[in-house]
Amino acid sequence: MITDWGGVLTSPLNEAIRAWLEADRIDADRYLSVMGEWVQQAYDGVGRNPVHGLEDGTLDPAEFERMLAAELLTVDGDPVPHEGLISRMFAAFTPVEAMYEALRDVRTAGVRTALLSNSWGNDYPRHLFAELFDAVVISCEVGMRKPDERIFRHAVDLLGLAPAECVFIDDIDHNVRAAEAVGMLAIHHREAAETIGALRELGVLR
């Protein structure tokens, strides 16, 4: 079982972003316009942009913060401080304990597990990794990012398995389809109960 982190093992990304926009009093429409364009470019396979660089490790997170802050304004028209921007963006992330418990149950039953995450300079709960995962793949540390098929194959290889022997969980549909394209079973995560039910149907979780 291979799982994403943000939005799967944490509360939804949209909730964290909404909390940050409100806390920093950022013009939400401006943010959504900028980030919508960046994310679309990051997934359409055309060219490169700051999201590519942040996720594959070729752009320093501090530089990404400067680039994003330069595109934003507060609701009062003031500039947005760039230092600590990423930490503030994801400050409202909370762990989804039901998903963590499912991971522990799956691993206790002898199923190999891996984390496969596109990093945005996040602070991961690395102190839990040894307990939860047989392999950890973080995009900026391996120079690849989802939906590149190479990063899926890398995670599978670390587990010593074939793609068809793996179930992949992600909250982004594009990544789910990319995993399926390399031969993995995939679950589009929306909420914990639904994903846990799907794992039980597949026989991964009892």
- Give the three-class secondary structure for 161: coil
Q: Does the reported pTM lie above 0.85?
A: yes
What mean pLDDT comes out for the span 161-168? 98
Tens of pLDDT, residue by residue over 16-29, are: 999 999 999 999 99
How far, in Å, CA of 155 to CA of 101, rounded? 22
**∠ CA 120-122-123 to the nearest 5 degrees?**
170
Nearest to 136 by CA among 153, 159, 120: 159
Tens of pLDDT, residue by residue over 74-117, are: 999 999 999 999 999 999 999 999 999 999 999 999 999 999 99
- Give the three-class secondary structure for 14: helix
- Residue 161: how many other CB atoms lie within 10 Å: 15
Nearest to 88 by CA among 35, 30, 31, 20: 20
Burial of 195 by CB count in 10 Å (0-12 exposed, 13-18 middle, 19+ buried)?
A: buried
Percent of the chain with pLDDT over 70: 99
- Give the three-class secondary structure for 10: strand
What mean pLDDT comes out for the span 133-142? 98
Instruction: Categorize the per-residue pLDDT at 46 as very low, low, confident or very high, splitting at 50, 70 and 90.
Output: low
Domains of the chain: 2-11+93-201 (3.40.50.1000), 13-89 (no CATH)
How far, in Å, CA of 64 to CA of 54, rounded? 7
Nearest to 19 by CA among 92, 95, 120: 92
Q: 82, 60 in Cβ contact below 8 A?
A: no
